[in-house]
Amino acid sequence: MFHLISRVKNQGNPKFFKMISGEEIFNLNIAGLELVEYSPETLLDDGCWFKVSNFLAQPYCINLLKEPFISADYNILPQDKYGKIAYLCSFQNDDFYFQKVTPSTYLKNKKLLRFGDAVTVEEDGDRLFVNGIPDAVYLSETNQLIFRNLATISSMFKGVDTLYKEATHEQVEEFLESDFIELKNDYSAGKVNKPNRKRVALAMDTLASMDDTDQHVIFDYIVEYCEDMIFNTGNKSFEIANDDSLKNLLFGIEQRFFTTPVGEEKRVANSIQRL
Amino acid sequence: MLSFLFRILLTFNATSLLVIIFLIKEEMVLWKIFPSLCPHISSWPDEISYFAYIIAPVLLTGLSIGLSRFLSEDDFKPVLIPGTEMKESAITSIEYANNSFLPSYLGYFFVALSINSFDTLYFVYGILFVFTFMSQALYFNPLFLLYNFKFYNITTKNGSVIFLISRDCYKIPKNVEIEKVYRINDFTYIERG
């Protein structure tokens, strides 16, 4: 049987309440999806979802998934908590489908046009808009959490955003103070855009695993691919004056540049997946 | 609103015994209560009135069993143990509870037999009704037995204790596998069977 439960905000215990049973809320053909392990370096194509494997063992896994699901363990959602729903969780064939509830999906006393035999106006009562496609699904059989947008699910799975490494202001400053960077044009940590912050966090990890020889190989590699980049051979540093030049440097550190074997066309990988 | 009326009905069924015992004790037959309605049956034996008093909550209990199909549904099917491919029974213990309501029902008898006036009855019944309604625990009434229902205390795998009303004869927890139960309240479920 299908069961729909909800997590209520600012609630002591219990946190989950039962809403209804017997209705299939979400309809998603999971077999038709292509799943790729989550990586901040990967951009998703249509029909492609991120997965986090061995999800039960992850620190951000919620207790709900760690115990057997028995709908009778959950009290019925009382009326005074309707407006406090944080997210929905639909239990369907042993899988858990999650949808975050946002002010835009919770319609409070809005007028709705209803197209029946004639057009009528409905305006009494609150309504919750259910998206056909859930924000995340926990697949019990394979112990995977699948989702498309990490930012959307981070409020449901506290701590899952640690997967998405975005450098703090201090880390960006530390990175920009590296010997191989020479800042120009008053460019500073405060001006670094969000995608680059993410890349800085990744690049710092990559650099930490490289020795000096590796780093020099990388610098030559960047110079080879990025003709716009100004490299001072004297102090072995790149001039970084804007987000674009920083992006090139970061892509270089991640070795995103490559040449096609046939045609020898120079390319950059906007999104990568490890083979 | 519907569930509120349903709970009123269940509370009435569960507590009506008090009023019936009082009416019988006072020999308060139907035609004494409604003299104008039934002048021609005043010669009938008193037992007919008493039978009518008893049959009313029995029929209302039947009605409440019928209405329970509109309640929220749940199931007690084997559950998947997280991280494995094993399915185990959702129930870890089951305890026959048919006799557990007897003390409270005997209580009703003694209270009803010691009430002396209608005024006292109104107050005592009023208090009993409100507390039964609020507690939501004494919904079970022995009239369910007439419909072949049995009472069980069951414990789920996650430890919650639930009161189950069912026609089936359960003994072993792992044999309890129920497609559909109806939720009377968060602690009381009925399998209509």
pLDDT at B34 over 90: no
Please name the residues in contact with A65: beta carbons below 8 A apart, sequence gap of 6 or more. A55, A56, A96, A138, B82
pLDDT at B95: 92
Please name the residues in contact with A253: beta carbons below 8 A apart, sequence gap of 6 or more. A203, A206, A207, A218, A222
pTM of the model: 0.81
Find, among A63, A59, A33, A44, the residue nearest to A137 by Cα: A33
Give one DSSP letter per residue of A26-85, joined into a string: ----GGG-EEEE--TT--PPTTEEEEESSGGGSTT--HHHHS---GGGSPBPPGGGGGGE
Residue of B nearest to A20 (CA): B72
CB of B177 less than 8 A from some CB of A = no
CB of A20 less than 8 A from some CB of B = yes
pLDDT at B59: 93
Interface subset of B 27-66, CB within 8 angstroms of A:
none
Query: Which H or E run contains A183?
Result: strand A181-183
In contact, A204 and A215? CB cutoff 8 Å = no
pLDDT confidence tier of residue A100, bands split at 50, 70 and 90: very high
pLDDT confidence tier of residue B140, bands split at 50, 70 and 90: low
pLDDT confidence tier of residue A132, bands split at 50, 70 and 90: confident
Whether the bond into B103 is cis, omega within 30 of 0: no
Residues of A with Cβ-Cβ distance to B83 under 8 angstroms: 56, 143
Size of interface A-B (CB pairs under 8 A): 62
CA distance linking residue A175 with residue A177, whole number of Å: 5
pLDDT at B38: 61
pLDDT at B41: 65
Rank A35-49, A76-90, A259-273, B91-105 by mean pLDDT and report only the highest: A76-90
Scan for tokens 């992850």, then name that residue: A58
pLDDT at B139: 64
How far is the CA of A8 from the CAs of A94, A100, B112, in angstroms? 22, 11, 45
Q: Determine whether the interchain pair B181/A72 forms a contact, defined as Cβ–Cβ distance below 8 Å.
A: yes
Q: Determine whether the interchain pair A67/B82 forms a contact, defined as Cβ–Cβ distance below 8 Å.
A: yes
pLDDT at A161: 80
Total Cβ atoms within 10 A of residue A260: 9
Across residues B106-127, what is the average pLDDT?
89
- For chain B, the average pLDDT equals 86
- In this complex, which of B83, B179, B186 lies closest to A56 when CB atoms are compared? B83
Looking only at the bridges linking them, the beta strands covering A95-100 and A266-268 are unpaired
